[in-house]
């Protein structure tokens, strides 16, 4: 699959996002002066495969957001990685200094302010340790969750790193 060069607001099958959580993400994007717009898909995209199909892009171009709970501290950890890789729990534990557990939907919403399937890499309402996996750097543009399971935002990987203020790390397996 190939990505189109259309501006995000004219990408086929999308329209500007209107949900309050998507608008919260757009506000952060605007404050950071990034050239990006949160858009809504005509269909839900709770998984990387669903988002890729809706956008007509490779699964790897979907910047999936996975929330974990620190096993000892209870801190929220958000891994943003390419849609075609898996988090390596040993690499993640080494990076943050503790083992992790799967986060419950309530934990995700409490710490990020977003529902599972729509957790954006920015615009959190609570304390979240964001880790950007280097698997995203192989693409010119990636599509991150935009605050709802219907919303996405296209960003260049370097713009994503600048928006989060986080360095690139390796916490995922190589693409299959």
28 and 153 Cβ atoms separated by less than 8 Å = no
Q: Is residue 58 part of a domain?
A: yes
Residues 72-113: tens digit of each pLDDT:
999 999 999 999 999 999 999 999 999 999 999 999 999 999
Residues 11-29: tens digit of each pLDDT:
666 777 888 999 999 999 9
Q: Is residue 144 part of a domain?
A: yes
Q: Is residue 12 part of a domain?
A: yes
Q: Greater confidence, 45 or 27?
A: 27
pLDDT number for residue 135:
97
**Domain that includes residue 24, residue range:** 8-169
CATH number of the CATH domain containing 116:
3.90.960.10
Instruction: Give mean pLDDT, residues 38-65.
Output: 90
Q: Is residue 176 part of a domain?
A: no
**CA-CA distance, 109 to 158, in Å (whole number)?**
27
Q: Is residue 3 part of a domain?
A: no
Q: Is residue 70 part of a domain?
A: yes
Domain tally for the chain?
1
Q: Is residue 2 part of a domain?
A: no
- What are the Cα distances from residue 25, in Å, to 69, 135, 165? 23, 23, 15
Q: Is residue 100 part of a domain?
A: yes
């Amino acid at each position: 699959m190939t990505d189109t060069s259309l501006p995000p607001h004219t990408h086929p099958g999308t329209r500007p996002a209107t949900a309050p959580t998507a608008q919260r993400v757009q506000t952060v994007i605007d404050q950071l002066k990034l050239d990006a717009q949160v858009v809504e898909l005509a269909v839900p995209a709770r998984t990387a495969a669903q988002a890729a199909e809706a956008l007509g892009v490779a699964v790897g171009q979907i910047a999936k957001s996975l929330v974990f709970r620190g096993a000892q501290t209870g801190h929220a950890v958000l891994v943003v990685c390419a849609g075609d890789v898996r988090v390596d729990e040993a690499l993640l534990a080494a990076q943050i200094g503790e083992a992790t557990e799967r986060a419950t939907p309530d934990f995700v919403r409490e710490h990020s302010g977003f529902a599972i399937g729509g957790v954006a890499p920015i615009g959190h309402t609570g304390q979240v340790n964001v880790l950007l996996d280097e698997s995203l750097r192989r693409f010119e543009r990636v599509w991150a969750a935009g605050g709802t399971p219907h919303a996405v935002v296209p960003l260049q990987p370097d713009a994503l790193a600048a928006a989060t203020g986080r360095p690139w790390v390796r916490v995922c397996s190589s693409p299959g």
